[in-house]
Amino acid sequence: MVEIPSNGPSGLVWMIGPANARPKDQIGGQTKNMFDKKSLDAMFSELRDNYELEPEWEEIQRDAHLGIARADGGVDLGDIDPRVAEVLKKHNPS
């Protein structure tokens, strides 16, 4: 397994190795796992099963994408739908 840092200010580090390699984010010297395909699929599947027929389904999806970006960025989830926040925390690989 080889770590390759990005050239940008984000501090993103890519792990090059086995097929299950996932991007990592190094914040303040700590390594944080980011969402991978498996956790994203499980999260969106749970949201879809529970809320797809709700009138605010599009807002739920928007908040899910925003929450993922914020979680992967290491910042507070902010003012997202509490239903989304609960499912997001459940499936967050960190």
pLDDT at 28 exceeding the cut of 90 = no
Identify the pLDDT of residue 9.
56
| Greater pLDDT, 80 or 34 | 80
Report residue 2 as tokens: 């080889």
State pLDDT tens for residues 7-23: 555 555 555 444 444 45
State pLDDT tens for residues 51-82: 999 999 999 999 999 999 999 888 999 999 99
Alpha-carbon distance of 44 to 64, in angstroms, equals: 8
Q: For residue 21, give Cα distances in angstroms to 8, 13, 17, 41.
A: 21, 11, 6, 17
The 3-state DSSP class for residue 12 equals strand
∠ at Cα 28 (26, 30), nearest 5°?
A: 50
